[in-house]
Amino acid sequence: MADRLVYVLNGPNLNLLGLREPEIYGNDTLDDIAALLDDRAQQLGLTIEMRQSNHEGHLLDWLHEAQAEGAVAVLLNAGALTHTSLALYDAIRSIKTPVIEVHISNPHAREEFRHKSYVGMAAKGSIAGFGAKGYVLALEAAAGLTS
């Protein structure tokens, strides 16, 4: 059986993980997170397609692509677009592929403007506040959706 595909999409400024506000986001880079996910994915019989963009349209296109490619799930850390993007909300609602929202920090423990999540309103579920481990938790949740 071919490995089941999971897209891991990361939005604006997440390319700066490890450098940007380590007191909030920790010291792990996206490469570190990708390595964690690759190891766990292999154990779960999943394949990871990891991407990052500072451009909203790329995330929209990749959500559509995930469905077209038959991905079993999308893990989405949309960064600040979480709180502003009706386009991401619409894209998530437009596809059948389950989307799991991921946040390294806990948005509800931060500034009030971060408490509203358009991504979360459309997503299957949300995992927040567990640092880089949140991606692994989301991957395990994705595996559970497809077993």
Single pTM value for the model: 0.91
Whether 103 is a known active-site residue: answer: yes
Domain boundaries, the chain: 6-127
Contact partners, residue 49, CB within 8 Å, separation at least 6 = 5, 6, 7, 8, 66, 69, 71
Mean pLDDT of all residues in 37-58? 97
Tell me if residue 49 falls in helix, strand or coil.
strand
CATH fold, domain 6-127, is Rossmann fold (3.40.50)
Q: Which of 7, 25, 118, 135 is catalytic?
A: 25
Here the tokens at position 49 are 């397609």
Higher pLDDT, 28 or 91: 91
In tens, the pLDDT along 94-121 reads 999 999 999 988 777 676 866 788 999 9
Residue 70 CA to residue 84 CA, distance in Å, equals 28
Q: Which of 7, 89, 103, 118 is catalytic?
A: 103
Contact partners, residue 24, CB within 8 Å, separation at least 6 = 104, 105, 110
Res 111: pLDDT:
67
| Burial degree of 87 (CB within 10 A; 0-12, 13-18, 19+) | middle
Higher pLDDT, 105 or 5: 5
Choice among 4-8, 25-29, 37-41, 99-103 with the minimum mean pLDDT: 25-29
Whether 25 is a known active-site residue: answer: yes
